[in-house]
Every structure is written in structure tokens, then in C-alpha cells.
Amino acid sequence: MPIRSLVTAVVLLVFLAGCGSKKRTTYKKPERTVVEHTRAENTPPGEKDIYPMPEDDGKFVTIQITDIQDYIDTFSEIAQFEMKAYGIPASITLAQGILESGYGQGELTRKTNNHFGIKCHTGWNGAYESHDDDEKGECFRKYNHPMYSFRDHSIFLSTRARYASLFDLRRDDYKGWAHGLRAAGYATDRRYPQKLIDFIERYQLYKYDREVLQEGYSVKREPKAVFYTQHTVQKGDTLYSLSRKYFISVLDLMELNNLKDHNLAIGQVLKIRTENSRQ
């Protein structure tokens, strides 16, 4: 090849590489390496966590967000990761994050990295922060990095029976998900579904769902068998210990057995809902 042609080819390659390098880095990852074969908390037995989080280095990370589009650019990739791992539409995750966190500008989000307004609930052993919401001084989960909030959001939805029907929807059915979240009790605001849909359509968030599906992920989860078993309460049993044993949330245990409080009696028979792992 003549020298001039070779130089031209090299310049062209450098130019193309430079163009590719302008793509925005979506979110700041902790410097520590990914922990291999780590199973996310509450992941059903036998289900491998195919997208384990990098190990928490204990440092609280603050990410500056300027506007809604900046929020989308920053967190769209991790929303797609969560869609691949748990089946929740990336568009829904992003829209909820925008709405619940005030696109990262809300007071609660800035001091906790909690992008979905998830409260502590019974059994939460992580860091927390008190914040005035529906009531004064409510307990909210706190994370050192926003991506742990995104993962906890996925676990929160995928391990509670009240949201199980959502996972039978097509993975690109963002309207069904928006209405289903409100119907399942995620929010009391009557306009909650429409607010999510407005964000999704205004900013074309559905394109992130399509990108995931184009990679070969199914548009609908295969039907999963649901099983029920029984547990006879023994000395030392608590709702929390049973939730850990059977991989079911305390709230779901209470709802399934019509419990009004956390008190259990020895010999009491509890109904336990289980299911095989989701794809």
C-alpha cells in the first residue's frame, strides 16, 4: 500500500475512534471489581444473579444531574441492565426514577441516592435516613451509589406477590406496567400511570425497551408455576426469619395470611407462596 494511502487510512481510523469516544459515560461505577457469582438479596434459590453489582466500597457517591435528559443519559444503561436481569421495562424504571427522584434533584434522593422513594419496610438492614413524606420522620433506604437503588427497585418489584401479575405482561407494554403499578399499590396518586406514560412518550423512553428486545430478550415471560406450601410456627420463628427462609417479603406473608400485626403463635399454620425462578 502506498504511504499516502496508509496515512489516510490511519487518519480515518483515528477520526472514527474519536467520534465513538464522544459517547457519554452513563454512570460512575465504583472502582472495585465485580463480585463473581454473588446472588442478590432475596433472589429465589437456584436463580443466578446474572448481573451482579460491583462491590460497595462504602463511599457515598454524588452524581450531578442538570436536567431530565441528563438523567436519562446517565441512567439509561443501568435501566437496561435491570430489564435484562429482572424483566422490568427500562422505560418504566427510568420514568419512575424521574418522577420519584425529581430527576435526581429531590432532597431525599440527594441525601440517600434513593431514586424510587422506597421506604425501609420490615426486614431492611441497610443504611437509612429519616425524611418527612406522608408522615413526619419516615424511614427511607439509603444507598452509597444510585445503581444500588436501581437494583433494589428491581428486587422490590420482583419479590413481592402484589406485583407478580406485571411480569406476565409484554416487556414493552409500558402502559400496562404504568397502570399495573398503581393498581398494585405502588402509588396512591390517581394520575401516577399517566405521569409515567407522559415521561415515556415525551422522551421516547420506549426505545430503550426496544434495544433490549432487539438483543434477543423475550417480549413476554414464560408462564411460571406458582406453588403454595404450609409452615407450622415453631418457637423462635418470626415473620422476618420466615421471609428469609422462604424468600418472600414480610408484607406478602402478612397479606397472604391476613395478619394484622407481626405476632405469631406456636402451632399457627401459615400459607407460603413460592414460584420457580423468573427468566
CATH classification at residue 171: 1.10.530.10
In a domain, 119, yes or no: yes
In a domain, 19, yes or no: no
Q: Give the tens place of pLDDT for each residue, 123-152.
A: 788 899 988 776 787 899 999 999 999 999
Q: Are 91 and 204 in a shared domain? A: yes
* Per-residue pLDDT at 151: 92
Q: Which residues pair with 122 in a beta bridge?
A: none
Q: Are 261 and 162 in a shared domain? A: no
* Per-residue pLDDT at 51: 57
**Average pLDDT score, the chain:** 79
DSSP alpha helix (H) spans, 131-203 = 146-158, 174-183, 192-202
CA-CA distance, 27 to 30, in Å (whole number)? 10
Q: Are 94 and 179 in a shared domain? A: yes
In a domain, 30, yes or no: no
Domain boundary among 214, 236, 260: 214
Q: What's the number of domains the chain is made of?
A: 2
CA-CA distance, 104 to 8, in Å (whole number)? 45
Q: Are 178 and 158 in a shared domain? A: yes
* Per-residue pLDDT at 275: 56
CA-CA distance, 245 to 93, in Å (whole number)? 29
How many Cβ atoms from other residues are within 10 Å of residue 131's Cβ? Answer: 19
Pick out the chain residues at pLDDT < 70: 1-52, 134, 220-226, 244, 247, 249, 274-279
CA-CA distance, 128 to 143, in Å (whole number)? 8
Q: Are 132 and 246 in a shared domain? A: no
C-alpha cell of residue 54: 460491583
- Provide, rounded to the nearest whole percent, the portion of the chain with pLDDT above 90: 49
Give residue 182's domain range. 68-214
Q: Are 197 and 252 in a shared domain? A: no
CA-CA distance, 195 to 159, in Å (whole number)? 25
Are 160 and 255 a contacting pair, CB within 8 Å?
no
In a domain, 38, yes or no: no
The backbone region for 132, taken as left when phi is positive above 0, alpha when psi lies in -120 to 50, beta otherwise, is: beta
* CATH code where residue 236 lies: 3.10.350.10
